[in-house]
Structures are given as structure tokens and as C-alpha cells.
Structure 1
């Protein structure tokens, strides 16, 4: 028994299941987008994270890693059950051809499983749809879930794509925008923190100022 699964998000750097072989390559006619909500790992139902899914576009290419699981039916079943729990926001399993850089015209593998999502907010409750870059960046910069924050997911993907030698322009652009947001948030936090001591210091000075303004006899009576 054997099956292959293609990873294009967190599976690229953190597969999390027992596999027998990993191959870097790409699939055709799909591109990576951040249009899927994550409410149980990197976000919450109230503040969902944005994670990767695939958008079907003729002529597009999406790089990632294919993992092979071979052996007993139990091993294969355990790996697939793990993947289905982990990728629960994805409502489809699509079969695709997988290509290697050494031969981009002929598939190295066929029937590779890839988890995808229906791009429809009515039929797929996890589908967020596209948004302006700045809006996505703010959402990613602030979303936090049981498994960590959304920004680390993005930054880890950015590094993983660099490590396999196939950086993604959208990932880089979005990561840089998130860094801008984090910088703005840090400046605002620093400004607020710097104002707090001034406020307490002013309040502490008020009684002594009022004391000096009182007539000498009033001060003596008060004491």
C-alpha cells in the first residue's frame, strides 16, 4: 500500500506524521492564497487566522513537498486519519499530478492527494475569500490560537519556501506587510508605556503644589 500527499502550507516544514519519502516539487494550475479561516490551531472562532488554501488558475504553479507513506494498511490509515484531523478546515481532497524541477513537462507522480477548499462562503464555512493585503496583514498579525499565533505560521512558511529554494512572491509580500503592522503596534505600545509614568508623576505633584499655595496659617492648622 502507498499514497502520496502534497503539502503547500505548514506541511512543508512540519508534516507531523510518519512518512517514508519527501520530494520537493510543484503542481500546476494552482496558486497558494491565504483565503481559509483557521479557528482551532492558529486562531479562534471569534478571531480566525488566515491560512493557505489553493486557488485554481490555469498556468499557475505552486511549489511544495510531496510525502510518501508506504507499508501496512494500518500505517496508511493512521497517517490519513492524522491528516484529516489536522486539515479539518479543508472540505476536499483533490488528486493532482506532481512535477519535479528536473522534468517540468512530465509528471513525476500522478494521483497525489492535496487538501483543498471550496471557494464558496455559503457551502464552506471556513472560506474567508480574498481581502486587501493590508487587511490580511492586520488579521495575521493579531490572530492567536491554541497552537500558536498566525504570524509565526506565515513566517515559518516564508522560511520553508526559502529553504527548498522556491520562494513565493505572495508569501514574501504578505510577510513584509505583517512586519510593518507589528512595527506599528510596537511603536504604539511603546508610546502608551512612555505616557504612563508622566501621568502618575503629575498626579503625585498635585498635593505638594496645592500645599504651597495655601496660606501659612492654614498649613499650620491642617498639620
Structure 2
């Protein structure tokens, strides 16, 4: 039996594991927000970056990529990889995945997704809400082993746009970061 994994952050553009099929679509009842601290990929324990997590939100859709993984060995390898990559996300949820915007019938049921709890007693890296300017300043300054935090934000913004998806939180935050970045002057 195949396993399906839903990615709503960097998994959209960089799976990092073997898969049989990928589908762009959405899950219902969740909103993607830059509320999770990253101390291992896009920041450090001293200066965490911000990455996305999901918060329950009635009436919302979160677009992303679902990956089908078949074969016991491929599933084990993918899960081992994801447990390290997503280790700061303390919860796995199993959700319905849709590909058609107005569909009431799920394309795939029981798709696994990693979520970071908003409870700091369970998830010490949860940063929660802040103003766009505060989040933008933090993202500009944060950098970890996987690179600058702003690259994560810009790649997510671009990946969603390539699929025709407009996520206002991602767009507004990316624009706030661009506004604060010094302009690059052409070399003479």
C-alpha cells in the first residue's frame, strides 16, 4: 500500500526522497503561517529562523505538494529522512487532499503531514504570531546550515506562484523582506 506525504513548505520544491508521483493540491481547514522557529535548518538556537507550520482555521485551504511513496524500503527511507528533516515538527496529522478547488470529495484520504504544535510546553521552537515587520527582520538576519532564512521564504513564494497559488501571508511577508533588504547596485 502506498503512503502519501503532504508538503506545504520546502517539501514543495525539494522532496529529498524517492517518490512515484506528485500532485499539487490542497488540504482544508488549515492555514500556512510563518510561526515555527527553525534552529536546525534556517536558523540557530541563538537566532532562530522562521518557517511555516499549519494552524487549524475553518474555511481555509492550504496548497502544497502531495507525494506518493510505494514499496516498503522506499517508505522506510522516506520516513527516516523526514523524521530528521521535520524533527522540529512534533505532530503528524492525517488529512484529506484535494486537487480540484470546488471538490467536496477528496482525491486522496489519509495523507500524512507534519505540523508544529502551537503549545511552547510541547514545542519549544514555536514562535507564534508577530507583526510582518518583526517577522521580516528576523528572517533577514537568520541563517542556518540549510542557508539564509530569506531563501526559504523566497523559494516558497516562487514555488507557490509557479503553481498559480497566491498565499497572502507568504506574499506579504516576502514583500516585507524585500522592502527591508538593501538594494543591490549593479557593478561597474
What range describes the TM-score normalised by the shorter chain of this pair?
over 0.9
Measure the CA separation in 2 of the matches of 1:102 and 1:115.
23
Q: Which structure carries more strand by proportion?
A: 2
TM-score, normalising length: structure 2: 0.95
Other-structure match for 2:172: 173
Measure the CA separation in 2 of the matches of 1:2 and 1:106.
20
Q: Secondary structure at the match of 2:125?
A: coil
Q: Say whether the 8 Å CA contact 1:4–1:67 is kept in structure 2.
A: yes
Other-structure match for 1:145: 144
Other-structure match for 2:54: 54
Residue 102 of structure 1 and its aligned partner are, at CA, apart by 6.2
Measure the CA separation in 2 of the matches of 1:57 and 1:102.
17
Any unmatched runs of 5+ in structure 1?
191-223
Other-structure match for 1:18: 18
Q: Tell me which moved more, 103-112 or 62-71.
A: 103-112
Q: CA RMSD in A?
A: 1.4
TM-score, normalising length: structure 1: 0.80
**Which one scores higher on RCO, CA 8 angstroms, separation ≥ 6?**
2
Q: Say whether the 8 Å CA contact 1:121–1:129 is kept in structure 2.
A: no
Measure the CA separation in 1 of the matches of 2:123 and 2:65.
26
Residue 112 of structure 1 and its aligned partner are, at CA, apart by 0.3
Q: Say whether the 8 Å CA contact 1:49–1:143 is kept in structure 2.
A: yes
TM alignment of 1:173-212, pairs within 5 A: 173-183=172-182
Q: Secondary structure at the match of 1:5?
A: strand
Other-structure match for 1:212: none
Indicate the structure (1 or 2) with the bigger Cα radius of gyration. Answer: 1
The count of residues paired between Structure 1 and Structure 2 equals 185
Measure the CA separation in 2 of the matches of 1:102 and 1:6.
17
Q: Secondary structure at the match of 1:82?
A: helix
TM alignment of 1:125-144, pairs within 5 A: 125-144=124-143
Q: Which structure carries more helix by proportion?
A: 1
